[in-house]
Amino acid sequence: MGDVQYHLAESITVEDKQAQEDMEQISKCFHAYLMTGNIREIYPAFESITRLSIFCKHRGFEEEREVRIVITEPSIELGQDPERLDDKPYRRTHVDLRNGAAVPCIHLFEDQELKALPIRRIIVGPHPDKLERKKAVEILLHDQCIDAEVSVSETPFRGR
């Protein structure tokens, strides 16, 4: 699959063959679940859902030209990865506190000797406090010795 799709919802025809196959797989699995009530019928759609979630975004975010990374770990519910015989996770799981909730995460680059990530530009997304967030990002970048442009998105905030 190639570039991020920003106008997929507006198009009746999907030209990307992989996206077509993924949408068909999701539809097929969801239908099978509805017919049987067996939640395992949905499992084969997970890869398609993940792939589409990486490459489909609202057109208002087209200016970001972001790169998304999705990392998955074996799940107790789905069973162990057949290629790994031990029960050890691939990566150490960390926990961050966000809005009072514990959020599990993995640190992708902790085992690499990178001086800094190749960040050239950061766009602060729609938010009622986007100017304050822009300043916070600038302070963080300065603290980490990262020279990158910081701007705010022109996409209007439509939240609460």
Whether 135 is in a domain gets the answer: yes
Number of domain units in the chain:
1
Whether 149 is in a domain gets the answer: yes
The encoded tokens of residue 17 equal: 């063959």
The model's pLDDT over 29-72, given as tens digits with 9 standing for 90+, comes to 999 999 999 988 988 898 888 888 877 776 666 766 666 677 66
Whether 93 is in a domain gets the answer: no
The model's pLDDT over 134-154, given as tens digits with 9 standing for 90+, comes to 999 999 999 988 899 999 988
**147: containing domain:** 112-160
Where b means 16+ CB within 10 Å and e means fewer, 47-77 reads ebeebbeebebeeebeebeeeeeeeeeeeee
Does the pLDDT at position 78 exceed 60? no
pTM over 0.85? The answer is: no
Whether 81 is in a domain gets the answer: no
Whether 126 is in a domain gets the answer: yes
